[in-house]
Amino acid sequence: MCSCNHEKSDLSLLDDVFKKYGNDSGNLITVLQKAQEIYGYLPIDVIYHIAANTNSTPAKVIGVATFYTQFRLKPVGKHLVMLCKGTACHVNGADGIEKAICEEFNIEDGGTTEDGLFSLKNVACLGCCSLSPVMMIDDVTYGSLTPEKAVEILHGLKKEAAE
């Protein structure tokens, strides 16, 4: 394990994953997916642990984790806000929505709010263009947005979290 590693994850949570998928580096992507489900992202100590248990190297595991956009190397906020920047949403004002969210919550694409409540990620077409402009928060889709409506939705979630 890396001596410069400051993160301390409960690595025993991966025992069952290794039991099921073995120590074959051919299953690396599946193991990373399971690890991300468990930890919410891929902490560095988990990456070293996976490398050691899949006949791989940390460099290789990091290489795979950074190549595929589905993997996150940083923790995400409690709510993941995916703002569609596909063509239909772009034409219908996605940029204005992004600007409003960024200004109101002091956040930028790929970032997380200071309180850890929201992470913002611009994404390609979410597949519901007829509702554009669209954002998805966790697994809920919000359509026909305006900048005001988007900000209001996030404030609603913030209020809920505070209660």
Q: At what angle do helices 58-67 and 28-39 cross, to 10 degrees?
A: 80
- The answer to whether 157 contacts ligand FES (rule: CB under 6 A) is no
- Which amino acid is residue 143, in one-letter code? G
CA–CA distance, 29 with 25 (Å, rounded to integer): 9
- The answer to whether 137 contacts ligand FES (rule: CB under 6 A) is no
Backbone angles phi, psi at 50, to 5 degrees: -65, -40
- From first CA to last CA, the distance across the chain in angstroms is 41
- The answer to whether 117 contacts ligand FES (rule: CB under 6 A) is no
- The answer to whether 77 contacts ligand FES (rule: CB under 6 A) is no
- The answer to whether 126 contacts ligand FES (rule: CB under 6 A) is yes
What residue number has its CB nearest to ligand FES? 86
> Given the complex with ligand FES, which of 2 and 124 has the nearer CB atom?
124
CA–CA distance, 70 with 72 (Å, rounded to integer): 7
Single residue of 84, 97, 100, 135 touching ligand FES by CB under 6 A: 84
The residue range among 35-43, 55-63, 105-113, 123-131 that interacts with ligand FES, by the rule CB under 6 A, is 123-131
- The answer to whether 88 contacts ligand FES (rule: CB under 6 A) is yes
Backbone angles phi, psi at 27, to 5 degrees: -100, 15
Residues that bind ligand FES (CB under 6 A): 84, 86-89, 125-129, 132, 134
